[in-house]
Structure 1
Amino acid sequence: MTIPVEYILNFIPLFQSFFFAFLLFTFRNKNALSNRVLGVFMLINFFAYLLSFLDIIKLYDYAIYSWYFTIPLMLAGNPVLFFYIRALTTENFKFKLYDILHFLPVLMVLFINLTTFGPLSYNDKILLVKGVFSAQNVSVSVYIKTYYWANIFYNIQVLGYSFFMILLLRKHKKNIENNFSFKEKISLGWLKGFIVIYIIFVLWEVLTYYLTFIKPYSSLYLVVVIVFYTFLGYFGLKQSDIYIVRNIENIPYPIIRHEHADIIKKADNCTIVNAEKSVTGAEVVQVPESEIRKKEIKIPLSKEKQKEIIEAINKLMEEEKLFLNSQLCLNDFAFRLKVNKNYISVLINEIYQKNFFNFVNEFRIKESQKLLLDPQYNNLSIEGIAISCGFNSKSVFNPAFKRYTGLTPTEYKKLTNKVKL
């Protein structure tokens, strides 16, 4: 007995979604929350494809259930994917009660399905699944209209959530540049490619729904589906948690100057640390960031204090060469200076007219210029010098060096040596 190719191609994404869901729920790493959210997305698609597969292989007794849940499952997938990106790009992300509103359309369509398709007799359900139905039946008519409008809403939903996911990634890019001195493994560039594939994938579904000459489950379409799940599953498992990998849990709470303690006392869970001094020389108060946001505490720094912090930052960079740490982030400065990281970020942007990423990498480039011309380091390759100066790889170092000097490291070394001669 020969199994039709169509059955095999329809079964592969069914297997893929279950396989990746299993791995995401059982894979042991610190990226637990985002893995589970992506695992839920895979499970949703597994059940959606399972129900459709039963319909394709004409197991109508079981395919009946697809008419209850297929559209609600499709509508649930988009917000879950959106929350996956939020879980990846948001520090200390937690679900809020109002997040349930994202799933309100799912509940509405499910309710309509249960109250229109549910009461139909078994024979009427089978006829409806086979595409033979009477529009004169009120329940059938309501169900068909719901199915039609739910499909339209789903297409709009995909475009809407794709737009908001792109906004999240753009915001994440700015957060990286203001908080980290590197982008490797945290830029989420693969998700941009995924969203493009996702939009193409859904546009194809739209065309198959409205243009009858395009087959909805053609071989090419199913190949796109298989690539879609392979891409998402592989990179989802590979993705590290953006914040945990930098040991942010070891960084103390944001620190506010003690002279404003009368304001801060309004917040709960405050601890005055009398024995500790900030870089400004004042006693400090540790306040959970959630309390700062809740109480909207905004404490400006005087010009003198700003100058002291900038001098302390320069000392860390020029004397201690903190930039040699390839995993350097803004929280490291907050920890060393006992100053709120948001103050440091604002000061770097205002004083140096640079974000944190460019600020740190400029020091690395200057250090690499010294090493390239120092005979003591002639035994080091370009990549060796890059790593010695705090870069994670040659591929990151070369474009950064050229952007700053206008030359590649090799060109810079040759040109400078010629000038010396």
Structure 2
Amino acid sequence: MSYVSDVLEDLKKKSENQPEFIQAATEILESIEPVFEKHPEYQKAGLLERYVEPERIVIFRVPWIDDEGKVRVNKGYRIQFNSAIGPYKGGLRFHESVNLSIIKFLGFEQILKNSLTGMNIGGGKGGSDFNPKGKSDNEIMRFCQSFMTELYNYIGPDTDVPAGDIGVGSREVGFLFGQYNRISNEHHCVLTGSGLEYGGSLVRTEATGYGLVYITEEALKQRNDSFQGKTVVVSGSGNVAIYAAEKAIMLGAKVIAMSDSSGYIYDENGIQIPFIKEIKEINYGRISEYLDYFDDENLTAKFVEGSNNIWDLKCDIAFPCATQNELDGDSARKLVSNNVKYLSEGANMPCTLEATEILQKAGVVYLPGKAANAGGVATSALEMAQRSSKLCWSFEEVDSRLKAIMVNIYHCIDQAAKEYGFEENYVIGSNIAGFIKVANAMMAQGVV
């Protein structure tokens, strides 16, 4: 067995009850094996054994009181995975599915994603098994204040700068920041995705979705193609999905379907994004409510229960933007049979390993999440730069910087794939390009 295989097998034994983490580690480690053949000094330094272990794992209880006066207790997490190239950076996820395996897989992916942005930020992730859905604003505030009271001990502007993720939007970030500010008595940039009123950046809301489209646009451009006239299917209807759909439409595409956990809406004439924004960002409603915006004479959309079935639809471009492992082998085979040409991941690891293999073998241009959805964390780093310099850039300036970062990511992963003999394999290209920067920083800093 090779050095990388030995490390991976050992990791599987140590983390056998962490399937999401092992899935991410398997995909990444198997693809970077050629790097160790070219750089034997990495093996001599025991670099990979250190790389796969988080620098710090913090697990804590989060007690809070609901509106009925009952004491509730959730579990909180923060994984500080790798700080070789900069302070830990990565979102907080509030969802009942959150566990150690999911937070570790997200943090492990975040190392490479942050590296690919070209910004000096390390990899981290966190969250809780608390679900904001169905909770009052006061309940969410009390939970966030309790969560931050403990997390405060481990974060800071030059140590660890969290942001939002699933279940953590501007409301939650505001409550978290308010409690941090109250404890520290200092107005630090310690949470990105903040409101514009207290130091946030323009484009941050749109960043992940816009970035997803920008990197896909560059892939299209390199093939003398464009979004003009393309049909697009977007899973999810959260922040990433909404703004990916919006930007794709701006570039001439037609988004024909979007989903949430209850099912999906389909309209061959194209989804109208302003209605989706009102449902999801203002009313916090269900995707099926989209049909209520039309009278019977003008209704061309339909709602279909079961969100996974969205991949049965014929499209040119697929954007899985919902959650991890939402797109399995059967869904990938359906997409291929319907002649999908491009798939870019808006969510973190939305395709299973089987689905990834099927899509790549079929020649689909496949852009993995660690590259394709890096626009969010890239703009978070731009937010950090603005706040540290006490400046506020215009929407156009931030958007221009975001686009330049995403175009650069495409060419970095394309070049790495070609250099190691895996042309157009952007999974391997992303893993290698992101890993080498972190590996060289770790080598320079010694065994720490």
Q: TM-score range by the shorter chain?
A: under 0.3
TM-score normalised by the chain length of structure 1: 0.21
Which structure: larger Rg? Answer: 1
The answer to which structure, 1 or 2, has the higher relative contact order (CA under 8 A, 6+ apart) is 2
| Structure showing the higher strand proportion among its residues | 2
